[in-house]
Structure 1
Amino acid sequence: MKVVKFGGSSVASPEQFQKVANIVLADRKRKFIIVSAPGKRHDVDRKMTDLLIQLADSVAEGRDDSAAFASVMERYQEIVTGLSLEKLFVSEIQRNLQETIARYRHDRKRLMDSLKASGEDNNARLMAAYITTLGQEAYYVSPKEAGMVVTNEPGNARILPEAFERIGTSLKNREGILVIPGFFGYSKEGHIVTFPRGGSDITGSIIAAGVEAEEYENFTDVDSIYSVNPKLVRNPAEIKELTYREMRELAYAGFSVFHDEALQPVFHKKIPVCVKNTNHPEAPGTSIVSAREPNGYPVVGIASDKGFCSINITKYLMNRELGFGRRLLEILEDEHISYEHTPSGIDNISVIVRAHQLENGKEERILQRICTELLVDEVHVERNLGMVMVVGEGMAKTVGIAAKAANALAEAGINIKMINQGSSEVSMMFGVDDYQVNEALTALYHAFF
């Protein structure tokens, strides 16, 4: 059995629905189908999820929501008409949206989650109906029926451990093609709760782990995963195969083709993932596996991200002070701030965090506590940092990777503000000024490829 997930661009229009159905019916093993909400049909189009967020904001703020509501319905009308489905579907979608708005009008978080989830939910219903019109046995399965039990934090769902057994029990022995909406589950309290954006990847991975699929196929709009952002480098190298660890590092650092939280369920079950193109399904795509044979290239990919800042702390004899690091991280924990990296020296330490986490007065409180509780000599925040990651399992057995990277950045006139490498040696991170991130990424790509 295979679990197959189709992203927003793959289900954005009637024509894309037809491509998806052809792909599903071309392989009898493709039994579990996960769909996103309709994505962009062209570059200046808007995603359905963004339209639904606009609708939720209009309702919550008491503004006229008729235009936003009409924009949502127009997209569904186009799909229903283009696929020659019964017009009844449009009326049902409209009624369900109206009932959701009436139920949660005065609960903004639940309203937002329920309306966002409706994009995937309605698309799954339409996909199951369309495949049925082609003479195939297909069924819509709600996440509740499938066993997707999640935590109860709106917009930030986490799958509960017992869900995997429930999913296997619910789905494994069912007949026909099962179409399941991505992006959300149900809490024990019965609420719809969405995963973070990109959460349909997470749903697909969870279902694959739950039914113990032989493969999880993730269809998107590119032939494969590339070694670098193709918007920055012309004709970049395609990655034919990479490991879970390599994909995790690249996804963390900005590779948008696969959500970085989506690998965990399949990683634990060692289920291979294949990223393929809905518009070019015959292309082999990129395989993500637990281990791979060396291919002669120590680096598999280079990625970058912006929006970081560094809390830089200096204290004489810091290295001899027991518990200093623990107390520092407790201050961040008290403010619900997660850290990304902690490069350090004998008398200094830097904590790298996402800049948005220091908003709403948190920065001032943190700096005050560091000064008064840790009695440091100096503390300041350095802003506008970007991170460039060089990733590859082969780096651990290759001499001179750091030197090669440093030379490439030096020749491009880029000042390295920080270097960090984990003990696994799967990745090496370079901190640079964020305005030089793209230039740094390009320089490193040409050095290694």
Structure 2
Amino acid sequence: MTDQLTRSPSALRVVLATPLYRGATLALFFSGLGFSAAAPHIARFLVEDLGSSLTVAGLYYLTNLTALGAGYLVGRRSDHTGRRLGPFRLCAVAGFLGWLGIAFSTELWMPFAISALVLGFAGAATSQLFAAIHDELQANPSPAGDGVISYVRMSLTLGWVIGPVAGSFLGAQLGLRAMLMATAVCTLAQLLPLGTLRDRARNTATGIAPTPNTQVSLKTMWPLLAFTGLYILVYAGEPIKYAYLPIYMNDHQYPPTLGGIIIGIQPLVELILMPVAAVLARRTGMLNLMVLGALFGVGANVLFALSGSPVGLLIAQVLMGGVWGIFAGLGIIVAQRLLPQAVATASAIFISAPAVSSALGGLVGGLGVGVVGLPLVFLAPGALALTAAGGLYALQLRLGRRI
């Protein structure tokens, strides 16, 4: 089978034929479905069910910052032992218990504590799967390897397309606590597609695990940290957009159907472009393509700020779909190649970056809207994306050969 997969250029065929890739694809779909169902309604749950003020509810998102440290600890341990699927299962169970605990919370402090101490580790489940996929690709190289990662990553995006709609429906019909319990079930369901599958290290003919990796120095990690920091600048526009774009459209009395189309076009474009980005990157280079993606983000935010029309907002969202079609499909690949001796650590740091971006975006958006108002606040994430484009270009000049 290995020879057959190596000869085949079809990434989809490789994914369907390999138990780990197939299982990871379904697991990430459940992960995206559950988390995206809950994410838009957490603040509402805190206010309506636990009596929080709007200000305190907004502070909940700062608990996401612990995900970066938790992910690093899990990734470092995984790289030291060579085990990926064991930590993945533990993190998935932690996520199940965390969301269940939030669903049954009776005091306002409980979701804050649970999110900071438990759900931070739950997010590391995704990074462990990508580390396991990397190990499999190293053991069974395929010319479609980058495409495999893009297809697996697409399933997470697909979950994010369906999850908000499913969460809104379930919350309206059965209440927010029931919706949070469904999120817990989806998080636990990540375990089912992988069954009793064991790590690549334990499936070799000898059964001998690889030599554990030594700890990497900060100097070795700087390219990864620089890349992740630039990714954070690009991503910071997302929380600003989701916080203020619906308000802007409501203030201008956009029909609900039109508003839904404008919001929903981005993930659809992203899904279409992710496999395309993997093909284009072979010709242009990954970082060069990411420079273009960051510039798409600049154009999108300028349109949000200055267009003043539904057509302009729709074009802006199409451009944002281009941003994430590139970054979502290629980002994890670049991160792992920048720290090949510790791929679980690299995956964990990169995948935890959106949590930091949420805090940064909330801060920039909150300050910016107070100073310049809507819609000019969108010029701030445009400036961040332009800074990221320059940084990515400089990174390409220095590290392009490594990627």
Larger radius of gyration: 1
- The structure with the greater share of residues assigned to helix is 2
- The structure with the greater share of residues assigned to strand is 1
Whether these two folds match at TM > 0.5 is no
TM class by smaller structure:
under 0.3
**TM-score, scaled relative to structure 2:** 0.24
